Amino acid sequence: MINFREVYIIVEKKNKHIVVIATLDTKSEEAKYLKDLISERGHNPLVINGGIFGHSTFTPDINHGEVAEAAGRTIKEIQSFKGEGEAISAMALGVANIMQNLLSEGKVDGIIAIGGSMGTSLGLKVMQQLPISIPKIMLSSIAFTPMITPESVSIDQVMMQSVGDLWGLNRITKMALQRAAGAICGMVEEQKKEDAGEKPVIAITTLGVHNYADYCKPLLLGKGYEPVVFHSVGTNACEKLIRQGYINGLLDLSIHELVNFVCSGSIKGGEEKITAACEQGIPQVIAPGALDFFTWAGTRETLLQNFRHRNVHMHNPLVYLVQTTPEEKKEIARLLLERVNKTNGPTVFLVPLQGFSRLDREGMPFYDPAAGKEFAGVLKQGSTNRLVEAVEIDAHINDAVFAEKAAELLLEKMS
């Protein structure tokens, strides 16, 4: 029995544009197999050859000569580069430029790349330059190895470990390619259109040591806003979405990336922290959530070398939280000011005087109210931008009254 409503939905879910990126000098058999699976499913694959040398077993839609030209080079020039790293970077630039054209023509519903170490570096680089509206998959034989760093992936990356090396078709590589095709097709098919007239978005940054997001949520929903929470684990997802125009207001209540940046901790993203909202000029309330510690991902042995005199809390055997010193806290305040003084939007510092995390509270290991006061002092005295003000509140960051005040201040600035 055919259900005609279902058939209608299925037809609507076809004919999506899916870009396939591969280095066809070594991966043409695999790319052809992937392309055919995408076609069989009713979509339109477009293959771009990011490979430096020749020998593809089929003709791609965009060949490596065109990629080189899009990078302002000839393929002969790139082939003559001494370092393979330099050559693949030039190819990545070319593919990225081509992607921008395809995007503006509405010809990208999803993107998939396959590769070993060269193809993976190319694929990830290209995907990092695409907005989150485009689903992206990297099928890689080095997906989860020390070669892939958190900074090298997109904020919405899908990464698929290839069990066998992508070296010819066999039952193991075919299985991986079938799944990769299924995943990218399924992703573009399921992607719903965003509703017009949606509520303005307020981003909230947080860590597990905070619970203010739960207090803020009903307040923001009640006023017609949509809260979106970002985990301060160093992906810079919040900053990237602000730059892509998805965020209307910011409760930046965890500055954990910045703390790690100053203290050389393990969480990345400190370079970008605070800067996006300031550049875009969206209203923001900033509080020093998780100022009291930085994160150290490693064994106790590697930790002790550098920080053996500090207060240390074991989060689990591989992740330690290390207390920041009063001097580091002041340094973080100075860096905060330096960045915020350049803001183009209304900004409030909200400093809770009774502590900045679950561990920084009377009776808890990182409690240090004197250092907190010094931190607040630096902030209060340092603003040179009339858009910035500093407000103190005699509460702990996890108290309901703090969350309510933060939300209230932001809503004032947004109205």
- Contact positions with a copy of itself (CB under 8 A) in 180-239: 181-192, 194, 198, 201, 206, 208, 213, 217, 226-231, 233-235, 237
Contact segment (CB under 8 A) with a copy of itself among 34-42, 58-66, 284-292, 322-330 equals 34-42
192 DSSP 8-state letter = P
Site string for a copy of itself, 81-100 (x = CB under 8 A): ----x---------------
Asked whether the beta carbons of 364 and 318 are under 8 A apart, the reply is: no
* Interface pick for a copy of itself out of 36, 53, 107, 179 (rule CB under 8 A): 179
Q: How many Å apart are CA 252 and CA 274, to the nearest integer?
A: 8
Binding of a copy of itself by 250 (CB under 8 A): no
Nearer to a copy of itself, 256 or 329 (CB): 256
Contact set for a copy of itself, span 273-312 (CB under 8 A): 295, 297
245 Cβ partners below 8 Å, 6+ apart?
Answer: 280
CB atoms within 10 A of CB 168: 10
Amino acid of residue 103: L
Contact set for a copy of itself, span 309-328 (CB under 8 A): 316, 318-319
Q: How many Å apart are CA 323 and CA 301, to the nearest integer?
A: 17
Contact segment (CB under 8 A) with a copy of itself among 164-172, 332-340, 341-349, 389-397 equals 164-172
The least CB distance from residue 133 to a copy of itself, in Å, is 8
Asked whether the beta carbons of 161 and 145 are under 8 A apart, the reply is: no
* Interface pick for a copy of itself out of 25, 246, 248, 353 (rule CB under 8 A): 246
Nearer to a copy of itself, 173 or 357 (CB): 173
Nearer to a copy of itself, 164 or 382 (CB): 164
203 Cβ partners below 8 Å, 6+ apart?
Answer: 227, 228, 229, 230, 238, 241, 242, 247, 249, 250, 251, 252
Contact segment (CB under 8 A) with a copy of itself among 4-12, 44-52, 276-284, 345-353 equals 4-12
Q: How many Å apart are CA 276 and CA 343, to the nearest integer?
A: 9
Nearer to a copy of itself, 53 or 246 (CB): 246
Give the helix/strand (H/E) hosting 361: none
Binding of a copy of itself by 55 (CB under 8 A): no
* Interface pick for a copy of itself out of 54, 77, 175, 373 (rule CB under 8 A): 175
357 DSSP 8-state letter = B
* Interface pick for a copy of itself out of 25, 69, 156, 389 (rule CB under 8 A): 156
Q: How many Å apart are CA 244 and CA 102, to the nearest integer?
A: 18
Residue keyed to tokens 């790319």: 31
Binding of a copy of itself by 148 (CB under 8 A): yes
Binding of a copy of itself by 149 (CB under 8 A): yes
Nearer to a copy of itself, 93 or 153 (CB): 153
CB atoms within 10 A of CB 347: 26
Evaluated on CA atoms 124, 130, 131, 134, the torsion sign reads negative
Contact set for a copy of itself, span 333-392 (CB under 8 A): none
